[in-house]
Amino acid sequence: MDMNAFSLQGKTAWITGASYGIGMAIAEAYAAAGARIVFNDINRELVDKGLASYAEKGVEAKGYVCDVTDEAAVQALVARIEKEVAPIDILVNNAGIIRRVPMTEMSAEEFRKVVDVDLIAPFLCAKAVIPGMIARGHGKIINICSMMSELGRETVSAYAAAKGGLRMLTRNICSEYGGNNIQCNGIGPGYIATPQTAPLRERQPDGSRHPFDQFIVAKTPAARWGTVEDLQGPAVFLASAASDFVNGHILYVDGGILAYIGKQP
Ligand code: NAP
Ligand code: GCO
């Protein structure tokens, strides 16, 4: 086997919402694999923060302000990237939000906002890049799904609905554009230590670990939270030629939690 199949040399990757967290880790890995990095975030402050972080890590990246829920802004950004940088070979739909609210206390507006960012935006970004990928005869789209693409839990109804929808959007893009040599797959991170999950890991007033933290560690065969680095290898694989015959697949990177019923109390 030619191990260059895992190289991203000469490819241009656009990672949404990648000023920090999972998106930044994926961008770093893609740069190490040879790709040109483009990212966006929702405001200038975050983009500048991201650019400074990338520079500190020695990663050359171009950053743009764009709200991925705004179709006109997304279309304009894709045109700008393809003019200023290069045609987009790899799209990672990473931008996301979560609101942890009991469903009966959640407003329709809050529910819609989560679905807007976590499901509608990946549709808008994929819709914007697919025509160019078809014209060039190849493309990779990677949607950052979630364990909540498969499981529910209290207070995350909007997020689970959106990430469940993202699982099926992934499979539908595969179905509709696989014939154009576009591979669309998902990554389903387990519980990863990032700002988004910080509230679930906060130390209690008495210094003890958060009950949810203890719960996740007990439910995960790997007996630990995931790190953003755990996602880098799977992300490179799904962006590379090594996965050209993998399509419509959600690759769960969860330490085995989805496979495990849990220890008998
Ligand atoms: P995160 O805190 O969810 O960060 C996501 C990034 O997207 C932030 O920079 C965020 O900006 C940005 N963003 C939000 N709305 C946006 C919009 N409308 N337009 C452009 N950018 C926007 O970080 P994360 O934990 O690294 O999560 C990244 C992805 O992984 C998300 O899709 C998340 O659902 C998914 N995920 C996370 C975990 C986990 O355990 N952390 C597990 C499974 C899946 P702001 O800072 O302004 O919000
Ligand atoms: C939560 C967490 C999860 C993770 C992730 C799990 O409140 O349950 O935030 O939703 O973010 O999506 O895969």
Pick the CATH number of 3-190+227-259 from 1.10.3470.10, 3.40.50.720, 3.40.640.10, 3.40.50.2300: 3.40.50.720
Cβ within 8 Å of residue 128, ≥6 positions away: 74, 75, 77, 78
Binned average pLDDT, 10 residues per bin, the chain of 265 residues: 96 98 98 98 97 97 98 98 98 98 98 98 98 98 98 98 98 98 98 93 95 95 96 98 98 97 87
The reply to whether 177 belongs to the active site is: no
Q: Which atom of ligand 2 is nearest to the CA of 197?
A: 9
pLDDT at 264: 86
Distance (Å, rounded) from C-alpha 34 to C-alpha 21?
Answer: 20
pLDDT at 85: 97
pLDDT at 63: 98
Ligand 2 pocket test, pick from 191, 216, 250, 253 with the greatest ligand atom count within 8 Å of Cβ, gives 191
Give the CA count within 13 Å in the CB-facing half-sphere of 125. Answer: 37
**C-beta of 100 in contact with ligand 2 (< 6 A):** yes
pLDDT at 69: 98
Q: Which atom of ligand 2 is nearest to the CA of 254?
A: 13
Cβ within 8 Å of residue 64, ≥6 positions away: 38, 39, 40, 47, 77, 80, 81
pLDDT at 64: 98
Query: How far does residue 137's CA lie from ligand 1's centre (Å)?
Result: 30
Q: Among candidates 129, 115, 127, which has minimal Cα distance to 166?
A: 115
Q: Which atom of ligand 1 is nearest to the CA of 67?
A: 19
pLDDT at 265: 80
- Looking at this protein, which amino acid is placed at residue 250? I
Distance (Å, rounded) from C-alpha 82 to C-alpha 129?
Answer: 10
pLDDT at 142: 98
CA-closest residue to ligand 2 atom 2: 197
Ligand 1 site: residues with CB under 6 angstroms? 16-17, 19-23, 41-42, 46, 67-69, 94-97, 117, 144, 146, 189, 191-192, 194-197
Q: Among candidates 111, 236, 255, which has minimal Cα distance to 193?
A: 255
Enumerate the domain spans of the chain. 3-190+227-259, 192-225
Distance (Å, rounded) from C-alpha 36 to C-alpha 27?
Answer: 9
